[in-house]
């Protein structure tokens, strides 16, 4: 049986740039939320979704941590241990967009880590850019134990229109009937970009996945196309542009996805 934690989220993505020019856009998509312990039984009930095998949708270990070959969960645990996190997660859930017809691009994936009693321990946000690079950020549990909060230096090239020395602020809760992930950018303590990913929970089964695939066809290609389209609009607005080769000292801790 598939885990009740596994589901789909039909989402709305919003970005609003505040400086130096106001610029905003909204688009819709869907994401998978997967209990990695029972992924095999989940994919067994959906003929066009698989793990590490060609399919319409495929969750491929190569698109996440690449520390060793013992699978996504062990890679997450090894990463947390290497960063000094004291506890070893028992269960790990993943919010992501799997490969579509072998193609992948994930602006953001989130690992939610739990102890043996099912209590949240920590989360890891993996941010992707269009250069095939991935960077993980450990986002700790908040004081109330209900969500995750972190403000941290970005030190990563995400957009040519964003400074490398800005700070990311992550704020989100454990996904439930709804999804709400907030990521803001700060430059010199001033909010520069507001982003949100919100959604409603839907069952993960073959009919629902087929329905969303028809509603949002070629979703991964849509996301990458919109990113380049919005970059073109920013260029037309004469927002300052930064080449990736600039300031390599501010690009730290990323690794390249392996295909």
Task: Report d(CA 38, CA 20) in Å as an integer.
Answer: 46
Q: Kindly report the pTM of this predicted structure.
A: 0.92
Residue 1 has pLDDT above 50, yes or no: no
pLDDT digits (tens, 9 = 90+) for 192-243: 989 999 999 999 999 999 999 999 998 888 888 887 777 777 777 777 777 7
pLDDT digits (tens, 9 = 90+) for 159-189: 877 777 789 999 999 999 999 999 999 988 8
The residue-averaged pLDDT of 25-40 equals 94
Residue 258 has pLDDT above 60, yes or no: no
């Amino acid at each position: 049986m598939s885990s009740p934690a596994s589901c789909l989220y039909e989402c709305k993505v919003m970005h609003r740039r505040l400086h130096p020019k106001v610029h905003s856009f909204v688009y819709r998509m869907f994401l998978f939320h997967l209990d990695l312990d029972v992924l095999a039984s989940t994919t067994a009930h959906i003929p066009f979704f698989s793990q590490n095998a060609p399919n319409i949708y495929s969750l491929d270990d190569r698109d996440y941590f690449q520390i060793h070959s013992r699978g996504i969960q062990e890679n997450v645990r090894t990463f947390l241990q290497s960063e000094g996190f004291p506890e070893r997660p028992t269960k790990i859930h993943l919010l992501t967009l799997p490969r579509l017809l072998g193609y992948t691009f994930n602006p953001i994936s989130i690992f939610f880590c739990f102890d043996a009693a099912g209590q949240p321990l920590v989360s890891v946000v993996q941010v992707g850019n269009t250069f095939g690079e991935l960077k993980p950020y450990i986002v700790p549990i908040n004081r109330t134990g209900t969500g995750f909060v972190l403000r941290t230096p970005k030190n990563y090239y995400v957009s040519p229109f964003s400074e490398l020395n800005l700070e990311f602020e992550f704020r989100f809760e454990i996904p439930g009937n709804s999804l709400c992930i907030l990521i803001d950018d700060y430059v010199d303590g001033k909010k520069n970009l507001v982003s949100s990913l919100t959604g409603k929970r839907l069952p993960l089964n073959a009919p629902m996945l087929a329905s969303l695939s028809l509603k949002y066809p070629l979703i991964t290609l849509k996301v990458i196309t919109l990113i380049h389209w919005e970059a073109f609009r920013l260029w037309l607005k004469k927002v300052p542009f930064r080449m990736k080769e600039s300031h390599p000292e501010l690009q730290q801790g990323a690794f390249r996805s392996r295909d």
